[in-house]
Amino acid sequence: MTKAACRWASSQYNKGIIGTNRGQGWKIAKCDISHAKCSGISLGRNIVPTIDDDKVYPHRIKNNTIHDCGQTGIIGVEGNPSPIIEHNSIYNINVRQNLVSDDVSAINLSPAIGAKILRNCIHDCTRGIWLGGKVEDTQISRNVFYNNSLPDSFEVTNENREDLVAALGEDIEIKDSMGVTLIDNNFLLSDYALKLESKGVLLVHNLINGSVEWLSNTNVAENDPYYHRLYQQNAPESAPYDSSCFYNNVFIRKNLRSEMAKLIAFAHKQASEQPIDNHISDDNAAYVGLASGQRSYIPANKAGNIFMNDEQEDVKVAIDSSEDGVFLNSNICDYLNEDTSRVIAVGVTPETARDFDTDFLGKHREGISVTAGPFDTKEEYSQRLFRLLF
């Protein structure tokens, strides 16, 4: 399905090449969807349908190739119940940069309630995933992101920098998280990997090779290995979970191209000057495995992470894509030790907490000692990350 001149998609006008309107339970699979003026697939409508038996029938978007659309690959608004977006190849979204706003991304959900975004490959888009409007019980897991950024050739000036920041995208941007939003076992490899403008985001076992911006009640520390913190002024000191939390991730600081470094620094300065409202209400806590069946509360928002700096170490991270699929080309195994972290569990009580004991390939992490990052063993870094569909 290709070349549809649908106009700007939003809650007021929610059309794409494929549009579910007020429907539920659609299955969109094995399609090649391309060259929409705005959106490829649109889910939901601002009027939420009434269902007699009170059941929710999620949309399932699986095994599609979605590319060369002007605004979004997939957009969802009100009336978009618990979508499952799995194993799609999404690329070349908004590459012409003729549309600019938060509503531009490969996957854009507002709200994102009960959404599952799993095993997708998203690359060469302005932005990978944008979630906002109300984000609750949502998981972003086992995806590959790369080259989601501005084009290679641009120059930052005093006259154009605000326009460039408006067009600047990330692998993942989260706003308005009302509970724990899970980001686990992903490869986040673009220049601007994460922008977390909300508390209540839990990041576990990701490989992050790009700039990170996250909300904190603590002022920005110079040379902070976790990159840039958005300081929430006049916020009371609170529990560590009144923030975003990072457990068992691998951070590789990227040596950004000079113009991108200037632009991201300006974007961070702008973001730090903006007031941020947060209304998180969630009782989940994080626990670390001690021994079989035993868990201990983690009184901090960071634990078990590995940090590398490509300016100090010769760490290389790149993507190779061919007809055989998408592979990681990296020497990270030379710097990464196995089983240096402990298995993480999240839940209301230690007894009912959920273990993060499955890695990127779906393999079980054995025991309580685990390896930071998406893979449980170093040999898995030679495995295919994504099988191309078309």
Are the C-beta atoms of 341 and 371 separated by less than 8 Å? yes
- Residue type present at position 77: V
Report the alpha-carbon distance of residue 72 to residue 83 in Å, rounded: 16
Say which residue the tokens 């690329």 belong to.
Answer: 91
Report the alpha-carbon distance of residue 151 to residue 174 in Å, rounded: 23
pLDDT digits (tens, 9 = 90+) for 364-376: 998 889 999 999 9
- Over residues 35-42, the mean pLDDT reads 95
Helix and strand element counts for the chain (H, E): 2, 39
Residue 223 Cα to chain centre, angstroms: 24
pLDDT of 36: 95
pLDDT digits (tens, 9 = 90+) for 236-259: 444 555 678 889 999 998 888 888
Cis upstream peptide for 49 (omega within 30°): no
Say which residue the tokens 């601007």 belong to.
Answer: 192
Are the C-beta atoms of 193 and 149 separated by less than 8 Å? no
Q: In angstroms, how far is the first alpha carbon of the chain from the final one?
A: 14
327 membership: H or E segment, kind and range: strand 325-330
Across the chain, mean pLDDT equals 84
pLDDT digits (tens, 9 = 90+) for 101-136: 888 999 999 999 999 999 999 999 999 999 998 899
Report the alpha-carbon distance of residue 44 to residue 46 in Å, rounded: 7
Are the C-beta atoms of 160 and 223 separated by less than 8 Å? no
Please tell me the chain's helix, strand, coil percentages from 3-state DSSP, rounded to the nearest 5. Answer: 10, 35, 55
Tokens of 146: 């790369």
Quick check: helix, strand or coil at residue 320?
strand
Report the alpha-carbon distance of residue 320 to residue 337 in Å, rounded: 24
HSE of 82 in the Cβ direction (CA atoms, 13 Å)? 7
Q: Shortest CA distance to 219 belongs to which of 234, 209, 208?
A: 234
Question: Other C-beta atoms within 10 Å of 41: how many?
Answer: 30
Cis upstream peptide for 111 (omega within 30°): yes
pLDDT digits (tens, 9 = 90+) for 278-336: 544 455 667 766 665 678 888 778 889 999 876 667 899 999 999 999 999 999 999 99
pLDDT of 234: 43
DSSP bridge pairs for 231: 216
HSE of 299 in the Cβ direction (CA atoms, 13 Å)? 0
- Residue type present at position 59: H
Is 0.85 topped by the overall pTM?
yes
Are the C-beta atoms of 173 and 215 separated by less than 8 Å? no
Domain map of the chain by residue range?
87-281+305-319
